[in-house]
Chain A
Amino acid sequence: DTGVSQDPRHKITKRGQNVTFRCDPISEHNRLYWYRQTLGQGPEFLTYFQNEAQLEKSRLLSDRFSAERPKGSFSTLEIQRTEQGDSAMYLCASERGGDSYEQYFGPGTRLTVT
């Protein structure tokens, strides 16, 4: 197991386009998180899955953002009608579950909206 992977690593898109990112967590980890990180800030929580169930979603997330985790394995994060303000690093992390609170982060997907 090579850890959490994310694809693509970089994405440049034009304003108004839709983009989709993928995260493959560590196998057997049943919690999965998405974060957004901009320059000079810490990771900002977007959403969280327990297996395939999306249990929490940030109120900061507009309706243009959606995430799925079918079958409780990999997850996708889609941003519709991208805006320049969406430019950021999008991080995925997974956790084993139970009372294990160690998040394993992926390398991130850097999104640039032109």
Chain B
Amino acid sequence: AQRVTQPEKLLSVFKGAPVELKCNYSYSGSPELFWYVQYSRQRLQLLLRHISRESIKGFTADLNKGETSFHLKKPFAQEEDSAMYYCALIPGTYKYIFGTGTRLKVLA
């Protein structure tokens, strides 16, 4: 079955510490993978897409097909990074599959 797994419901880190939000997917084809973010009292919005290979707000994510992972990383967390992060997969059609999300708390 096509699935996105985000194993951590909550991740707390101190300001300036590195961050890694885990995402694993289950899909036998070539996936389209995304990270969406929802800041407090804001709408869900796209953070980055694997194919663009851009760094957005200091975040990067590398697709590892061998491990079927698409972990989100940032070398130095900032307080404004505190938000809910969702990993999402498009398994060949336009039907997005979202993970359950990880709440990132960056502590001062």
**Chain A residues close to B by CB (< 8 Å):** 3-4, 31, 33, 35, 40-45, 48, 50, 55-56, 58, 91, 93, 101-107
**Chain B residues close to A by CB (< 8 Å):** 4, 6, 9, 32, 34, 36, 43-46, 49, 86, 88, 90, 93-101
How many A-B pairs have beta carbons closer than 8 Å: the answer is 53
In the complex, what residue of chain B is closest to A102 when comparing beta carbons? B46
**CB-based contact A33/B96 at 8 Å:** yes
**CB-based contact B98/A105 at 8 Å:** no
Partner of A45, one of B49, B97, B99: B97
**CB-based contact B43/A40 at 8 Å:** no
**CB-based contact A91/B44 at 8 Å:** yes
Q: Which residues of A contact B96 (CB under 8 A)?
A: 33, 43, 45, 103
Closest 3 CB pairs of A and B: A42-B98, A105-B44, A105-B43
Partner of A43, one of B6, B46, B86: B86
**CB-based contact B98/A44 at 8 Å:** yes
Bound-state CA distance A92–B1 (Å) is 25
**CB-based contact B100/A42 at 8 Å:** yes
